[in-house]
Every structure is written in C-alpha cells, then in structure tokens.
Chains A and B, each alone.
Chain A
Amino acid sequence: QVQLLQRGAGLLKPSETLSLNCGIYGGSFSGYYWSWIRQPPGKGLEWIGEINQSGGTDYTPSLKSRITISVDTSMNQVSLRLTSVTAADTAVYYCARRTAKWFDPWGQGTQVTVSS
C-alpha cells in the first residue's frame, strides 16, 4: 500500500521560500501525477500544482510565478518550492497521488505558518 510521507519547514518569515518534500513509499512512482494541495486555516482545499514522472508540470494560475514542483525519480520524491511567501500562504500543505481524475492517497500534511 503506497504511503506518502512529507517533510519540510513549518515556520517561515514573509519573503522567504517554502520548501517541502514528499516521499513515495510502497508503490509505483511511474504512471501517476503527484499533486500539492493546500488548506488555509478554517477554509477549503486548493489545488496548487502537480508533476508527472517525466517532469511535466501544471500549476494553478495564481501561483504560477512563484511555484516550482520537481521530481527526483531515483529517490521517489516530489518537492514543492514556493518563493516570496506571505501570510496568505499560511496553510496545511498536502501532497497527493492523482490517479486519473481523483486524489488518493494523501500525505499526512505539513502545517506551514508565515509570520514575522
């Protein structure tokens, strides 16, 4: 059964860069898209981008200038980088595997707080 385990820093200052990793264990890496989805406090889910095994990416338009998602197939790992963070980027960030048109499973989530 595939498991997604997330790592990364949770407290940032405005203008810093958010970096999160998502390791894929117990399942195939290829043939899927690997997505990042965030959830601001008390709010709904927001898809922010995804990548496939070949490095092809799609990003939500509102973050396109600040976001980079990359993949390390040798380590079965997907990374998220978001530059110039502000308080509006405070959220729980999840990685998730996209199979066809749904997301399953999800990582455990990482609380990211942006505060001066």
Chain B
Amino acid sequence: QSALTQPASVSGSPGQSITISCTGTSSDVGAYNYVSWYQQHPGKAPKLIIYEVSDRPSGVSYRFSGSKSGNTASLTISGLQAEDEADYYCGSYTSSLTWVFGGGTKLTVL
C-alpha cells in the first residue's frame, strides 16, 4: 500500500488561509469517507484534528476544516496563527483492511 501524497511544505502569513491536499486512490481516499488528519509539533505525538473527512473532535478549533473530492482530501486552516506551525498528516482506511498515511506536510507560518 503506497503512502498518500501530500505536498512537502506549505506556508502562509498570520490571518491567511492555507489548504493541504492529500491524494490517494480509489482503494483508499476515494473509496471511503474515512480520512483523518493529524497535527504534530516537533518532538510530540500526533494529535487528531479531523476525522471522517470533515468532523472536528471536541476542543479542536473551528479554524480547521476538511473536505474530499474523488481521490483527494483537503485540510484547510483559516485565520493562520503562529501556533499552527507544525507537521500535518492525513490518514485513510484502505480496501486491504489496513491503514495508510501521507508523507506529511510542514506548515510554516511566516
């Protein structure tokens, strides 16, 4: 199972919005609404920020939103803040009954 494809890096200024894409196949992202997103600060464990494509866990800022079209899922962060600077990973269930993640995207807040 190949990893999902994410851009290596994205950047934005405080207050702006950015979008991170996550491209898979018809056997994972395109097959199920089981895409999740994780935020990871340096030296820390990943933290769930989006599940089932667009749902936010309790306590996660409304500035984080998710969507999906075909084989590509997207994470949008609006009103960028300095604390959003982190690595972001998408994950998906697969038709092989396993789980696959993206390679990660480093978000830099300028």
A: residues with CB less than 8 A from B are 35, 37, 43-47, 58, 60-61, 94, 100-109
Contact = CB atoms under 8 A, between A and B. Distances in A.
Given A94-B45, A106-B45, A106-B46, A101 B51 contact: yes
Interface of B: 1, 3, 6, 32, 34, 36, 38, 45-48, 51-52, 57, 89, 91, 93, 96-104
A45 B1 CA distance: 13
A61 B52 CA distance: 25
A108 B47 CA distance: 11
B93 A43 contact: no
A105 B58 CA distance: 13
B59 to A, nearest CB: 11
5 contacts: A44-B3, A44-B89, A100-B52, A101-B93, A104-B51
B97 A58 contact: yes
A46 B51 CA distance: 18
B102 A101 contact: no
